[in-house]
A and B are shown apart, each in its own frame.
Chain A
Amino acid sequence: DAKTTQPPSMDCAEGRAANLPCNHSTISGNEYVYWYRQIHSQGPQYIIHGLKNNETNEMASLIITEDRKSSTLILPHATLRDTAVYYCIVRVAGNTGKLIFGQGTTLQVKP
Protein backbone atom coordinates (compact mmCIF):
# COMPACT_ATOMS: atom_id res chain seq x y z
CA ASP A 1 0.00 0.00 0.00
CA ALA A 2 1.21 3.52 -0.81
CA LYS A 3 2.76 5.56 1.94
CA THR A 4 1.16 8.81 3.07
CA THR A 5 2.68 11.93 4.58
CA GLN A 6 0.76 14.19 6.95
CA PRO A 7 1.79 17.11 9.15
CA PRO A 8 2.12 15.93 12.75
CA SER A 9 -0.13 18.62 14.19
CA MET A 10 -2.46 21.48 13.29
CA ASP A 11 -4.60 23.98 15.11
CA CYS A 12 -7.97 25.31 14.06
CA ALA A 13 -10.31 27.89 15.57
CA GLU A 14 -13.73 26.65 16.56
CA GLY A 15 -16.30 27.37 13.86
CA ARG A 16 -13.71 27.71 11.14
CA ALA A 17 -12.95 25.19 8.43
CA ALA A 18 -10.20 22.71 9.17
CA ASN A 19 -8.17 21.70 6.12
CA LEU A 20 -6.00 18.65 6.67
CA PRO A 21 -3.51 17.84 3.90
CA CYS A 22 -2.11 14.48 2.89
CA ASN A 23 0.53 13.54 0.35
CA HIS A 24 0.38 10.15 -1.34
CA SER A 25 2.67 10.63 -4.31
CA THR A 26 3.16 6.89 -4.95
CA ILE A 27 -0.54 6.06 -5.05
CA SER A 28 -1.58 3.51 -7.65
CA GLY A 29 -4.60 3.69 -9.90
CA ASN A 30 -6.57 1.14 -7.91
CA GLU A 31 -5.88 2.61 -4.47
CA TYR A 32 -8.52 4.53 -2.58
CA VAL A 33 -7.84 7.40 -0.18
CA TYR A 34 -9.46 6.87 3.21
CA TRP A 35 -9.70 9.19 6.19
CA TYR A 36 -10.26 8.04 9.74
CA ARG A 37 -9.97 9.81 13.04
CA GLN A 38 -9.33 8.68 16.58
CA ILE A 39 -10.62 10.67 19.50
CA HIS A 40 -8.47 10.04 22.54
CA SER A 41 -8.16 6.24 22.81
CA GLN A 42 -11.47 5.39 21.23
CA GLY A 43 -11.77 3.13 18.19
CA PRO A 44 -10.87 4.76 14.87
CA GLN A 45 -13.89 6.38 13.26
CA TYR A 46 -14.46 6.30 9.51
CA ILE A 47 -14.87 9.74 7.96
CA ILE A 48 -14.83 9.52 4.18
CA HIS A 49 -13.09 7.88 1.23
CA GLY A 50 -12.64 8.43 -2.48
CA LEU A 51 -10.86 7.22 -5.58
CA LYS A 52 -10.45 10.24 -7.84
CA ASN A 53 -13.55 12.39 -7.58
CA ASN A 54 -14.18 14.81 -4.75
CA GLU A 55 -16.52 13.42 -2.13
CA THR A 56 -18.75 14.97 0.51
CA ASN A 57 -20.79 13.49 3.32
CA GLU A 58 -22.36 14.75 6.50
CA MET A 59 -19.02 14.83 8.29
CA ALA A 60 -16.53 16.20 5.78
CA SER A 61 -15.41 16.82 2.23
CA LEU A 62 -12.52 15.11 0.49
CA ILE A 63 -10.67 16.94 -2.26
CA ILE A 64 -8.32 14.79 -4.36
CA THR A 65 -5.97 16.49 -6.81
CA GLU A 66 -6.25 15.57 -10.46
CA ASP A 67 -2.97 13.64 -10.41
CA ARG A 68 -4.16 11.92 -7.19
CA LYS A 69 -0.85 12.55 -5.49
CA SER A 70 -2.38 14.54 -2.67
CA SER A 71 -5.69 15.16 -0.97
CA THR A 72 -7.28 17.44 1.60
CA LEU A 73 -9.86 16.60 4.20
CA ILE A 74 -12.12 19.53 5.00
CA LEU A 75 -14.17 19.80 8.17
CA PRO A 76 -16.36 22.77 7.25
CA HIS A 77 -17.17 24.07 10.72
CA ALA A 78 -14.82 22.57 13.27
CA THR A 79 -16.06 22.08 16.83
CA LEU A 80 -14.18 21.22 20.00
CA ARG A 81 -15.39 17.64 19.57
CA ASP A 82 -13.42 17.40 16.32
CA THR A 83 -10.16 17.48 18.29
CA ALA A 84 -8.60 14.13 17.36
CA VAL A 85 -5.84 12.39 15.44
CA TYR A 86 -6.73 12.25 11.73
CA TYR A 87 -5.34 9.46 9.58
CA CYS A 88 -5.01 9.52 5.81
CA ILE A 89 -4.68 5.96 4.47
CA VAL A 90 -4.43 4.59 0.96
CA ARG A 91 -5.94 1.19 0.48
CA VAL A 92 -6.06 -1.19 -2.46
CA ALA A 93 -9.51 -2.02 -3.74
CA GLY A 94 -10.24 -5.71 -3.74
CA ASN A 95 -7.60 -6.73 -1.24
CA THR A 96 -8.29 -8.03 2.24
CA GLY A 97 -9.18 -4.53 3.35
CA LYS A 98 -6.50 -4.03 5.97
CA LEU A 99 -5.74 -0.46 6.93
CA ILE A 100 -2.17 0.66 7.55
CA PHE A 101 -2.19 3.55 10.00
CA GLY A 102 0.58 6.10 10.15
CA GLN A 103 1.12 8.68 12.86
CA GLY A 104 -1.62 10.95 11.50
CA THR A 105 -2.25 14.63 12.17
CA THR A 106 -3.26 15.74 15.64
CA LEU A 107 -5.90 18.42 15.12
CA GLN A 108 -6.49 20.72 18.06
CA VAL A 109 -9.65 22.81 17.77
CA LYS A 110 -9.42 25.85 19.98
CA PRO A 111 -12.22 28.05 21.33
Chain B
Amino acid sequence: EPEVTQTPSHQVTQMGQEVILRCVPISNHLYFYWYRQILGQKVEFLVSFYNNEISEKSEIFDDQFSVERPDGSNFTLKIRSTKLEDSAMYFCASSEAGGNTEAFFGQGTRLTVV
Protein backbone atom coordinates (compact mmCIF):
# COMPACT_ATOMS: atom_id res chain seq x y z
CA GLU B 1 0.00 0.00 0.00
CA PRO B 2 1.41 3.42 -0.93
CA GLU B 3 2.45 5.56 1.99
CA VAL B 4 3.88 8.94 2.89
CA THR B 5 7.42 8.65 4.16
CA GLN B 6 9.25 11.17 6.29
CA THR B 7 12.90 11.52 7.18
CA PRO B 8 14.50 11.73 9.61
CA SER B 9 12.28 10.17 12.27
CA HIS B 10 14.02 12.24 14.95
CA GLN B 11 16.09 15.38 14.58
CA VAL B 12 17.92 17.17 17.35
CA THR B 13 19.18 20.65 16.60
CA GLN B 14 20.74 23.56 18.42
CA MET B 15 18.64 26.66 18.94
CA GLY B 16 19.25 29.11 16.12
CA GLN B 17 20.14 26.45 13.55
CA GLU B 18 18.22 25.71 10.38
CA VAL B 19 16.58 22.33 9.81
CA ILE B 20 15.05 20.71 6.77
CA LEU B 21 12.40 18.06 7.23
CA ARG B 22 11.82 15.80 4.28
CA CYS B 23 8.77 14.02 2.97
CA VAL B 24 8.02 11.78 0.02
CA PRO B 25 4.28 12.04 -0.69
CA ILE B 26 2.27 9.32 -2.39
CA SER B 27 3.25 9.39 -6.04
CA ASN B 28 -0.01 10.35 -7.79
CA HIS B 29 -1.04 12.89 -5.17
CA LEU B 30 -1.23 16.58 -6.04
CA TYR B 31 -1.83 18.28 -2.69
CA PHE B 32 0.77 18.35 0.04
CA TYR B 33 0.57 19.50 3.63
CA TRP B 34 2.60 20.05 6.76
CA TYR B 35 1.13 19.82 10.24
CA ARG B 36 2.75 19.97 13.64
CA GLN B 37 1.86 18.65 17.06
CA ILE B 38 3.48 20.03 20.17
CA LEU B 39 3.66 17.39 22.90
CA GLY B 40 0.28 16.95 24.55
CA GLN B 41 -1.47 19.39 22.21
CA LYS B 42 -3.66 19.24 19.11
CA VAL B 43 -2.47 18.56 15.61
CA GLU B 44 -2.16 21.98 13.94
CA PHE B 45 -2.29 22.80 10.25
CA LEU B 46 0.75 24.70 8.96
CA VAL B 47 0.56 24.87 5.18
CA SER B 48 -0.91 23.36 2.05
CA PHE B 49 0.88 23.25 -1.29
CA TYR B 50 -0.51 22.66 -4.75
CA ASN B 51 0.77 23.25 -8.25
CA ASN B 52 4.16 24.33 -6.93
CA GLU B 53 2.89 27.05 -4.72
CA ILE B 54 1.43 27.57 -1.29
CA SER B 55 -2.36 27.40 -1.47
CA GLU B 56 -3.04 28.15 2.17
CA LYS B 57 -1.05 28.75 5.32
CA SER B 58 -1.87 29.22 8.97
CA GLU B 59 -0.74 32.09 11.14
CA ILE B 60 1.85 29.75 12.63
CA PHE B 61 3.55 29.53 9.24
CA ASP B 62 5.47 32.79 9.35
CA ASP B 63 8.70 33.87 7.67
CA GLN B 64 10.63 31.36 9.74
CA PHE B 65 9.11 28.56 7.69
CA SER B 66 9.29 27.69 4.02
CA VAL B 67 8.27 24.75 1.87
CA GLU B 68 9.62 23.46 -1.37
CA ARG B 69 9.12 20.66 -3.85
CA PRO B 70 12.66 20.50 -5.19
CA ASP B 71 12.02 17.59 -7.53
CA GLY B 72 9.19 15.33 -8.60
CA SER B 73 9.14 13.30 -5.42
CA ASN B 74 10.28 15.25 -2.35
CA PHE B 75 8.43 17.88 -0.35
CA THR B 76 10.42 19.73 2.29
CA LEU B 77 9.78 21.99 5.26
CA LYS B 78 12.60 24.34 6.20
CA ILE B 79 12.65 25.97 9.61
CA ARG B 80 15.15 28.78 9.95
CA SER B 81 16.66 29.98 13.19
CA THR B 82 14.96 27.33 15.31
CA LYS B 83 13.57 28.17 18.72
CA LEU B 84 12.88 25.96 21.72
CA GLU B 85 9.14 26.25 21.04
CA ASP B 86 9.58 24.72 17.59
CA SER B 87 10.10 21.37 19.30
CA ALA B 88 7.23 19.20 18.10
CA MET B 89 6.21 16.32 15.88
CA TYR B 90 5.96 17.46 12.28
CA PHE B 91 3.66 15.49 10.01
CA CYS B 92 3.57 15.57 6.25
CA ALA B 93 0.41 14.57 4.41
CA SER B 94 -0.73 14.27 0.83
CA SER B 95 -4.00 13.85 -1.02
CA GLU B 96 -5.07 13.20 -4.58
CA ALA B 97 -7.26 16.26 -4.68
CA GLY B 98 -8.50 18.89 -2.26
CA GLY B 99 -11.33 18.86 0.21
CA ASN B 100 -13.28 15.79 -0.84
CA THR B 101 -10.48 13.24 -0.91
CA GLU B 102 -8.73 11.72 2.02
CA ALA B 103 -5.30 12.90 3.11
CA PHE B 104 -2.71 10.36 4.17
CA PHE B 105 -0.15 11.19 6.80
CA GLY B 106 3.42 10.15 7.32
CA GLN B 107 4.72 8.89 10.64
CA GLY B 108 6.25 12.22 11.49
CA THR B 109 9.59 13.75 12.39
CA ARG B 110 10.19 14.50 16.02
CA LEU B 111 12.12 17.76 16.16
CA THR B 112 13.89 18.58 19.39
CA VAL B 113 15.49 22.00 19.72
CA VAL B 114 18.04 22.25 22.52
Which residues of chain A have a CB within 8 Å of any CB of chain B?
32, 34, 38, 41-46, 49, 51, 87, 91-103
Which residues of chain B have a CB within 8 Å of any CB of chain A?
4, 31, 33, 35, 37, 42-45, 48, 50, 55-56, 89, 91, 93, 95, 97-108, 110
Once the chains are docked, how many angstroms separate the CA of A28 from the CA of B27?
A: 32
| Residue of B89, B100, B106, B108 most packed against chain A (CB within 10 A) | B100
B104 touching A96, Cβ below 8 Å: no
Chain B's closest residue to A100 (CB) is B45
A91 touching B45, Cβ below 8 Å: no
The secondary-structure label for the interface of chain A is: loop
Q: Which residues of A contact B56 (CB under 8 A)?
A: 95-96, 98
Task: Give which listed residue, B37, B55, B102, contacts A49 with CB less than 8 A.
Answer: B102
Q: Which residues of B contact A99 (CB under 8 A)?
A: 35, 43, 45, 93, 103
